[in-house]
Homo-oligomer: A and B are copies of this chain.
Amino acid sequence: MIIIDYQSRKPIYEQIVERFELLIASGALDPDSQLPSVRALAMNLSINPNTIQKAYAMLEEEGYIYSVKGKGNYVSRDARLLQRQQQSFYRSMGDLVEKGKLLGVTKEEFVGEAEKFYEGEEEPDD
């Protein structure tokens, strides 16, 4: 469920945070369902429990999960999380378009490539 790129310049805890943000905002994880325990996930990924702890603390601070003492961490029930992710998504798109303009990518090229990306993945047949 969580994949870590140990070569990445992005810190481990951040990779975990971003992964869970997506899983939660997209609905892949149901509200009030329990996250893997700190120790279990640490073992699983063979990293230090403190690092997981840090990631979970961050997710709680951001409202993605809530923690129940002595029981575990649970997915928050908050519709605004999806909105928030989408907003950040469109902001990234804006940045990308700006970069594209600088590099001489036309609107048509941009849209054409994007459509290919959209289609390419889902049905690898035909």
Q: Give bound CA distance, A70 to B96, whole Å.
A: 29
* Given known contacts A7-B68, A111-B115, A22 and B93 CB-to-CB distance under 8 angstroms: no
Which residues in B have their C-beta under 8 angstroms from that of A121?
A: 98, 101
User: Please, which residues of chain B bring their CB within 8 A of the CB of A7?
Assistant: 66, 68
Determine how many copies of this chain the complex contains: 4
Is A36's CB within 8 Å of the partner chain B?
A: no
Contact across chains for A22 and B99 when beta carbons are under 8 A apart: yes
In-complex Cβ contact of A117 among B85, B94, B105, B115 (8 A): B94
CB distance from A61 to the nearest CB of B (A): 6
Q: Is the CB of B115 within 8 A of A103?
A: no
* Chain B residue at smallest Cβ distance from A97: B117
Asked whether A86 is an interface residue with its Cβ less than 8 Å from the other chain, the reply is yes
Interface residues of A (CB under 8 A from B): 6-7, 9, 11-12, 22, 25-26, 28, 58, 61, 66-70, 82, 85-86, 89-90, 92-94, 96-105, 107, 110-111, 113-115, 117-119, 121
